[in-house]
Amino acid sequence: MEQVYSDEQLIKHWPGFTSHVMEVNGTQLHFVDGGGEGQVLICLPGWPQTWYSYRSVALPLADRFRVIVVDIRGMGSSATPASGYDKKTMATDVYELMRLLGIGRAYVMGHDIGGMVACSLAHNYPEVVERLILADGLHPNEGMMQMKLMPPPETFGEKIDHQQPYTWWMSFNQVKELPEKLLEGRYRYLLDWLFDYVMVDSSKMPDFDREVYAYVYNQPARIRASNCWYQAFNQDIADARNYSKLRMPVLGIASNVSYGFYQYTLTTIAENYQLLNLENTGHYMFEENSSGVCEAIMAYLTNSNEDND
């Protein structure tokens, strides 16, 4: 049954796409590549998902763009090295992959942790990012230090509170060694709880998809590696102090939870940005509102009236 959830089997559901692994920056990255001969769109997924999370977005966009979805360091079938989970190093992974593939410039999109890596790529290698799309994923910043240890009264229920979200897993994932002992072989429990909590309609996250992610994250090495993305936040925040505002066009796509945060933060990191609020859509927007996401991306990337410089 496990073979059903392997990359070799999953890629068969993506017509025109192929699966690859390449050595980059001292590690191995897995990615899938497909679509037309047009401009390249590089997509970076988030926690706790893999390249497969882009299926509802990548397939329609492949009619217009060459779409490359990358399992970032520690994700999916990419390697799980002991270090290198700061977003600057992970951005270098993507930069080196682009060089090996002969890609000089690309549109870059990231969701969740993938958005953090995409943002770091734009800061550290702006010459290769033509336009940047950040879907519920902004670079770690000082604001994280103000996150609450305890939820305010009456705000921690079955669904995340839009005004005062309690994201306890940001702290849980800081803990070393314990999470993989607790969650090995049991990751589906965390997935089900998380999707129910942060999605408006968690029924839109199919059971098959949940099993795909559980198959990956049931492994201790994957749990450790994905937690390392969070454990590197202090270094990420330190790196961000040296970044100037982004000059390339930036599109922020915000769910109902992150819209307020985006309103405040985008103006501090980008000179040229647009912000779209996907109302009545939770954090896992590709599953809940794939048409809204695709329409926003297509409109943004094909708008000839907007300056690319």
Q: How many domains does the chain have?
A: 1
* Strand 27-35 relative to strand 17-24, pairing: antiparallel
Is position 201 within any domain? no
Residue 154 in this model has a pLDDT that exceeds 70: yes
List b or e across 238-250, with b for residues whose CB sees 16 or more CB atoms inside 10 angstroms: ebbeebeebebbb
Is position 179 within any domain? no
Lowest mean pLDDT, pick from 96-100, 151-155, 189-193:
151-155
Q: Specify whether the CB–CB gap between 135 and 285 falls below 8 A.
A: yes
Mean local confidence (pLDDT), 68-82: 98
Is position 157 within any domain? no
Mean local confidence (pLDDT), 3-13: 95
Is position 248 within any domain? yes
Percent of the chain with pLDDT over 90: 91
- Domain residues for 123? 2-144+232-301
- Sheet with 129-135, side-by-side order of all strands: 17-24, 27-35, 66-71, 40-44, 106-111, 129-135, 250-254, 273-277
CATH of the domain at 69: 3.40.50.1820
Is position 75 within any domain? yes
Q: Specify whether the CB–CB gap between 149 and 266 falls below 8 A.
A: no
94-150 pLDDT, tens digit each: 999 999 999 999 999 999 999 999 999 999 999 999 999 999 999 999 988 888 889
Q: What is the pTM of this model?
A: 0.96
Is position 259 within any domain? yes
Is position 308 within any domain? no
Between vectors from CA 146 to CA 138 and to CA 172, what angle results, nearest 5°?
Answer: 75
Residue 256 in this model has a pLDDT that exceeds 90: yes
Is position 294 within any domain? yes
Other Cβ atoms less than 10 A from the Cβ of 76: the count is 25
pLDDT at 37: 83
Other Cβ atoms less than 10 A from the Cβ of 13: the count is 11
pLDDT band at 307 (very low <50, low <70, confident <90, very high): very low
Mean local confidence (pLDDT), 199-206: 98
Residue 305 in this model has a pLDDT that exceeds 60: no
16-71 pLDDT, tens digit each: 999 999 999 999 999 999 998 889 999 999 999 999 999 999 999 999 999 999 99
